[in-house]
Chain A
Amino acid sequence: MSNHPPKMTAEHVNVFYGDKQAIRDVSIAIDQDNVTAFIGPSGCGKSTFLRTLNRMNDTVPNARVEGDIRLDGQNIYAPEMDVVQLRARVGMVFQKPNPFPKSIYENVAYGARIHGLAQGRAQLDAIVEQSLQRAGLWNEVKDRLGDSGTALSGGQQQRLCIARAIAVDPEVILMDEPASALDPIATARIEELIHELKGRYAIAIVTHNMQQAARVSQRTAFFHLGELVEYGETSEIFTNPREQRTRDYITGRYG
């Protein structure tokens, strides 16, 4: 554990879809230097909670968020918070690889371009190369940056999406089951990548694969029926959970 103040904090967060409450009174802190995993059975609200952290739920009609979520102490649901800038600071990687149907270069350059992060072509080229290198994709695509991003394999597409998120130079990266649509080898590459990105970016990852949570994360939060049941060191959660529900889940009684 580090002694930094947490990168993001959430206090007493409730999320509603219309009348249905999807998240109940969740409080959690996400560290700068650790990977935080959200685990839990399907429909437990872990993805919903992740999407409140960069206000992606704003696009869902009838969704309502209560509570206090802060990035570096700043309330992200405050009226003066600009949601576009927030999403640049808190990037996201989705469950299904979703590259734009444009060239590999354009995919990575897009975010940097709309936020005006590069002055001139040379700087943009540098951002694209650095982002692809950090995402571990550079050597595979450096000779075909003009090819369509959708022509890559599933695992490469997901790393392209990670490169696209990195190119905006975010502080936090949210990953929503980033490897669930990938084969075991591509999954292993993504997990390695998360290890390499750890420390540079605060990372929160949703997964329904408990081995994956155990492998990549230092902190684990177990969600069940919209509640945060237990949150702590990953090693503690998996070897010595305090709650019966956590124990049942990680031993495969349900899920």
Chain B
Amino acid sequence: MSSSLVPQLPIAGAEPAGRTPTDWTTPASAKRIARRYAAERRFRLLGLGAVVLSVGFLLFLLATMLGQGLQGFTETRVALPIDLRGRLAITPAQLEGRRGDLALAAAGLEGAVDAAANRAFAGQGGAAVLSEGAWLRVRDAVKADPSLLARPFMLAVPVGSDIDVAHKGAGTAEAEAAAARLPLSRGLNRTFLSAADATDPTRVGVWGALKGSLLTMAVTLALAFPIGVLAALYLEEYAPRNRWTDLIEVSINNLAAVPSIIFGLLGLALFLGTLGLPRSAPLVGGLTLALMTMPVIVIAGRNAIKGVPPSIRDAALGVGASRVQVVFHHVLPLALPGILTGTIIGMARALGETAPLLMIGMRAFIAAPPGGLASPATALPVQIFLWSDEVNRGFVEKTSAAIVVLLVLLLAMNGVAIWLRNKFETRW
């Protein structure tokens, strides 16, 4: 019986007869070597070319977005001489707090500012030079310093969109001519980072859309992360391998590949139609994007859990850890970097997603930042889409500026992903 266990080695030494020793110095051999070197060089150049091309596209994108977008963070102001003496029936005592805004509006401040502009810029278009929101700056200045009611003063107020665009070098000929004769200056546009959508490009802000996006992402993360991680843990650590789990696995993989607009339709039918949740709300947007993000987290989570060496599970079981203890003391902490990276990639995709949000009504014109999860809101990518559709030239730079905000947010999320991965990474 032991004979079968003795390896039957082939007999060595029976070389084919007549074989001459190989000559490595023939011209044919030298040519082969030259061809091999050429192939290596070609491959290196092609690879380098591919890298240069993709980096070039990225730089082009960044340069155009920053070139146009950074202008969107600035506004053009005109120095307006104002004299409110005798024009407003109001006393300094009435300016306190929120009622002060109403008192100044009721006293006709907007008309007074327009009148001042008509006097100062009679030849250049009068009050039409100013932004629709210019009088609000005057209001804030008066509230901050009530003594302005009693003396003439100069104030730099934002100009209208035509002049603004002309001053930034992209306007019509007449607007540029008018801009040349006005005392213009440039300053940081605080409105852009604090306001919401508006019809006048000098008054729009990105904060409404940004807050809508952040609320939506919060709902998405709060739902997709725990459910996705628990599903991944269950499928990897507990579920038996059979036809049903195979079916679930295929379904999850397919779900991750479903076009996002389909998820929008699902959200429309389920959350708005059947459940009657409010439309345009970050809550519904978050629910819809969670449906889309969950499969990504499940897949990333399962891969990360598979990557935990079985020897660690054996070690824990071997000292008498229960399966839940194995999962939560060892597997989950070791898989966490991978799970977090996958989650953030999924979240970044959700943050940039427009189509499903269109379906559930987050493309409405919303002029105030959302107050909560159920109040109407829009999201950054949708806002970009809406602004890019506007006729007014002033929206071009606002669109780019909003893209810059979105890109900064995405870069920050990717940075967090890398940081988390390095922080929790364990080597064994």
Cβ contacts under 8 Å, A111 to chain B: 319-321
Known: A92-B318, A98-B312, A114-B320. A254 touches B5 (CB 8 A): yes
Query: How many whole Å from B235's CB to the nearest CB in chain A?
Result: 14
A61 touching B6, Cβ below 8 Å: no
In the assembled complex, B223 has its CB within 8 A of some CB on chain A: no
CB contact list, B327-368 vs A, under 8 A: 329-330, 334
B314 touches A165 (CB 8 A): no
Q: How many residues of B are counted as interface, with CB atoms below 8 angstroms from the partner's CB atoms?
A: 26
Asked if A115 and B320 sit within 8 Å, CB to CB, the answer is: yes
Expressed in whole angstroms, the Cα–Cα distance for A111 and B319 within the complex equals 6
The docked-state distance in angstroms from the alpha carbon of A56 to that of B323 is 12
> Among residues 298 to 325 in chain B, which have CB atoms less than 8 Å away from a CB atom of chain A?
309, 311-322, 325
Give which listed residue, A98, A114, A245, contacts B315 with CB less than 8 A: A98
Asked if A161 contacts B315 (CB within 8 A), the reply is yes
Within 8 A of B (CB), among A48-74: 54, 56, 59, 61
Find residues 227-245 in chain A having any chain B CB closer than 8 Å to their own CB: 245
Q: Assess the A100–B315 pair: CB atoms within 8 A.
A: yes
With contact pairs A61-B241, A84-B322, A165-B318 given, residues A94 and B427 touching in the complex (Cβ less than 8 Å): no
Chain B residues with Cβ below 8 Å from A56 are 314, 317-318
Measured between beta carbons, the chain B residues less than 8 angstroms from A61 are: 240-241
* Closest chain B residue to A97, Cβ basis: B311
By the criterion CB–CB under 8 Å, are A54 and B427 in contact? no
- Interface residues as binary, A92-118 with B (CB distance below 8 Å gives 1, 0 otherwise): 111010111100000000110011000
8 Å CB contact of A87 from B1, B2, B313, B319: B319
Cβ-Cβ contact count across A and B, 8 Å cutoff: 77
- Chain A residues bordering chain B, tally (CB within 8 A): 32
Q: Report how far A250 CA is from B403 CA in the complex, Å.
A: 76
- In the complex the two chains form, is A100's CB within 8 Å of B320's CB? no
Please report the C-alpha to C-alpha distance between residue A167 and residue B319 in the assembled complex, in whole angstroms: 9
Most buried by B among A91, A114, A248, A253: A114
Within 8 A of A (CB), among B59-84: none
Contacting B320 at CB < 8 Å: which of A87, A96, A248?
A: A87
Residues of A within 8 A of B241 (CB): 61
Contact A54 B428 (CB under 8 A): no
Q: Is the CB of B319 within 8 A of A88?
A: yes
A8 cross-chain contacts in B, Cβ below 8 A:
none
CB distance from B233 to the nearest CB of A (A): 16
- Chain A residue contacts of B329, Cβ below 8 A: 110, 114
Residue ID in chain B nearest A255 by CB atoms: B5
Name the A residues within 8 Å of B321 (CB-CB). Answer: 84, 110-111, 114
B310 to chain A, nearest CB (A): 9
Query: Of A54, A85, A92, A248, which one neighbours B2 at CB under 8 angstroms?
Result: A248
* Cα–Cα, bound, A94→B426 (Å): 21
Residue in chain A with minimal CB distance to B313:
A59
Shortest Cβ distance from B236 into chain A, in angstroms? Answer: 13
Specify which chain A residues have a CB less than 8 angstroms from the CB of B316 in the assembled complex.
100, 110
Is there a chain B Cβ closer than 8 Å to A164's Cβ? yes
Q: Is the CB of A91 within 8 A of B318?
A: yes
Cβ contacts under 8 Å, A164 to chain B: 315, 319
From B6, B309, B320, B325, contact of A254 by CB (8 A): B6
Within 8 A of A (CB), among B1-25: 1-2, 5-6
Output the nearest chain B residue to A95 by Cβ-Cβ distance.
B311
B319–A99 touching, CB < 8 Å: no
Q: Are B318 and A94 in contact (CB under 8 A)?
A: yes
Distance between Cα atoms of A248 and B330 in the complex (Å): 45
Q: Which residues of chain B in 413-428 are interfacial with respect to chain A, using CB atoms and an 8 Å cutoff?
A: 426-428
Which residues from 90 to 146 on chain B have a C-beta closer than 8 Å to any C-beta of chain A?
Answer: none
Q: What distance in Å separates the Cβ of B421 from its nearest Cβ neighbour in chain A?
A: 15
- Distance (whole angstroms) from the CB of A114 to the closest CB of chain B: 6
A238 to B188, CA, bound (A): 91
Q: Is A168 part of the contact surface with B, judged by Cβ < 8 Å?
A: yes
| Complexed CA–CA distance, A59 and B314 (Å) | 9
User: Does A130 sit at the interface, judged by CB under 8 A?
Assistant: no
Given A84-B322, A88-B320, A114-B320: A99 and B315 within 8 A (CB)? yes
- In this complex, the member of B6, B314, B318, B329 whose beta carbon has the largest number of chain A beta carbons within 10 angstroms is B318
The 10 closest A-B pairs by CB, nearest first: A88-B320, A111-B319, A254-B5, A98-B311, A92-B318, A87-B320, A101-B426, A98-B315, A101-B428, A248-B2
Jot down 27 A-B pairs with beta carbons below 8 A, ordered by A: A54-B318, A56-B317, A59-B314, A61-B241, A87-B318, A88-B319, A91-B319, A96-B311, A98-B312, A98-B314, A99-B315, A100-B316, A100-B330, A101-B312, A101-B428, A110-B321, A114-B319, A114-B321, A114-B325, A161-B315, A164-B319, A165-B319, A168-B319, A245-B1, A245-B2, A254-B5, A254-B6
Give 12 A-B pairs besides A101-B334, A111-B321, A254-B6 with Cβ atoms closer than 8 angstroms: A87-B317, A88-B320, A92-B314, A96-B311, A98-B309, A98-B315, A100-B330, A101-B426, A164-B319, A165-B318, A165-B319, A168-B319
